[in-house]
């Protein structure tokens, strides 16, 4: 049984359809990256998992239960960090951390102290006087100091500086090693590349890609720049799997479908390769391809 399972879930707000037959799953113990442009339905999905919203149709299962009907019981086993953390004006960061921890059913004070130090957070300031990044740290410390199975993180590092982001990565790696499941929605691709075992890409309320990073890369093209011993034959530009070819005498620049990489390489080595660079697709290119289609 997966930690999170959504099957053909639809959620409408009036006339707009936020989630359209969305299907995705997150296995126990994996760090799952959740990517998508703004307004594509990431936060709606997470709010469905929290039982804040009710699906119009489809099945939502989380930690073996129904998030809508059994919300309080399931919530003992998870912690959530919203993208925009709203702290109470009259409560200090420390008070919020303790309150949220107690509401979840307990807080590990040693770990709380470690995390405060690690994230360099002053717990004595009042809610409204924290910056966006520090408000996120308050929610992060509260979430990580509780002993839970599942972490739901909605763009948790969007306000953190690079130093804190590195701390965040280290902490999440530690959580994975301890066997926790993490659903991490993010825009920061390097973060996802570093941390995530699997990735789901959402666009307009539907999952358009899902799999390990290696699997997703297979769907894309490698850019190849080759310097050959002989002039490049024109026919190569129209070979199967070759795109955007530019030929200047002995030099070839092109994109190659990963599935056709082998045959193309054989043809090039038959012509004699003097120099070659091949760049694997970055997640960013993967992304832009999907994001662009939504435009």
Partner 1 sequence: MNGATGLGELVRLAARRSRWFYLAWVLALTLVVPATAAAYEQIIDPANADLLITTMTGIMGVLGIVRSTRAQEEDGRIELLRSGAVARHVPLVAGLVVGLAACAALGVLVAVAMIVVGAPAAGSVAFGGGLALVGATFLGIGAVAAQLTASARTANALGLWTLAAAYTLRAVADGSGEGATARLAWASPVQWMALARPYADERWWVLALPAAATLLLVVGAVALEAGRDHGAGLWAARRGRATAPERLRDASGLAWRLHRGQVVGWSIGMLLFALAMGSLSTSFGEMLEEVPQLRIIFERMGGGAERLVEAFFVAMLSIVSVVMAVLAVSLFGRLREQEERGHAELVLSTALSRRRLLGSHLAIAALVPVLLLAVVGAVLALNQSRSVGDWSIVAETAGAALALAPGGLVALGIAVLVHGWAPRLGWVAWVVVGWSLFMAWVGTALDLPEWLTRLTPWAALPQLPVEGMDWTAVLVTLAVAVLLVAAGAVGYRRRDITGL
Closest CB 195 distance from partner 1, rounded Å: 21
First and final CA of the chain: distance in angstroms?
Answer: 36
Smallest Cα–Cα separation from 141: which of 126, 164, 129?
164
Closest CB 54 distance from partner 1, rounded Å: 6
| Closest CB to partner 1 among residues 95, 197 | 95
| Closest CB to partner 1 among residues 35, 139 | 139
Closest CB 78 distance from partner 1, rounded Å: 8
How many other CB atoms are there within 10 angstroms of residue 148's CB atom? Answer: 21
Interatomic CA distance for residues 65 and 76, integer angstroms: 12
| Closest CB to partner 1 among residues 79, 252 | 79
SS3 104: helix
Instruction: List beta partners, residue 200.
Output: 34, 210
How many other CB atoms are there within 10 angstroms of residue 119's CB atom? Answer: 21
| Closest CB to partner 1 among residues 89, 179 | 89
How many other CB atoms are there within 10 angstroms of residue 73's CB atom? Answer: 10
Q: Where are the beta strands (DSSP E) in the chain?
A: 4-13, 16-26, 31-35, 57-62, 78-81, 150-154, 181-185, 198-203, 206-212, 221-228, 242-248, 251-257, 273-279
Closest CB 39 distance from partner 1, rounded Å: 15
Closest CB 249 distance from partner 1, rounded Å: 53
> What contacts 127, CB < 8 A, 6 or more positions away?
87, 88, 89, 90, 91, 92, 93, 96, 135
| Closest CB to partner 1 among residues 68, 291 | 68
Supply the angle between the helices 132-144 and 162-177 in degrees, to the nearest 10: 10
| Closest CB to partner 1 among residues 145, 254 | 145
Closest CB 201 distance from partner 1, rounded Å: 24
| Closest CB to partner 1 among residues 128, 246 | 128
For the chain, helix (H) and strand (E) counts, in that order, are 10, 13
> What contacts 113, CB < 8 A, 6 or more positions away?
none
| Closest CB to partner 1 among residues 18, 201 | 18
Closest CB 274 distance from partner 1, rounded Å: 55
CB-count exposure of residue 279 (10 Å: 0-12, 13-18, 19+): exposed
Closest CB 60 distance from partner 1, rounded Å: 14
Interatomic CA distance for residues 88 and 292, integer angstroms: 38
Residues at the contact surface with partner 1, assessed by CB under 8 A = 13, 47, 50-54, 71-73, 75-76, 78-80, 82, 84-86, 88-92, 94-100, 102-105, 123-126, 128-129, 139, 152
């Amino acid at each position: 049984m997966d930690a999170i399972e959504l099957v053909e879930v639809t959620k409408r707000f009036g006339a707009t359809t936020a989630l359209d037959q969305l299907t995705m799953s997150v296995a126990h113990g994996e760090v799952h990256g959740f990517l998508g442009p703004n307004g594509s339905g990431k936060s709606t999905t997470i709010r469905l998992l929290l039982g804040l919203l009710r699906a119009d149709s489809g099945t939502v299962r989380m930690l073996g239960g129904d998030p809508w009907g059994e919300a309080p019981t399931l919530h003992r086993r998870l912690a959530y960090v919203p993208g925009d953390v709203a702290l109470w004006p009259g409560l200090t960061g420390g008070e919020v951390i303790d309150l949220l921890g107690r509401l979840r059913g307990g807080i590990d004070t040693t770990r709380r102290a470690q995390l405060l130090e690690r994230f360099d957070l002053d717990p004595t300031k009042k809610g409204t006087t924290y910056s966006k990044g520090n408000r996120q740290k308050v929610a992060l410390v509260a979430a990580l100091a509780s002993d839970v199975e599942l972490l739901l993180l909605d763009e948790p590092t969007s306000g953190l500086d690079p130093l804190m982001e590195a701390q965040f990565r280290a902490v999440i790696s530690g959580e994975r090693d301890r066997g926790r499941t993490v659903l991490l929605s993010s825009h920061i691709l390097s973060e996802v590349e570093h941390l995530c075992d699997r990735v789901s890409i959402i666009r307009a309320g539907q999952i358009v890609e899902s799999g390990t990073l290696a699997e997703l890369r297979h769907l894309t093209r490698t850019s190849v720049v080759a310097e050959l011993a002989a002039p490049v034959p024109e026919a190569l530009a129209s070979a199967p799997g070759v795109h955007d070819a530019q030929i200047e005498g002995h030099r070839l620049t092109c994109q190659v479908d990963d599935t056709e990489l082998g045959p193309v390489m054989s043809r090039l080595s038959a012509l004699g390769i003097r120099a070659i660079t091949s760049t694997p697709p970055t997640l960013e290119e993967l992304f832009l391809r999907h994001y662009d289609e939504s435009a």
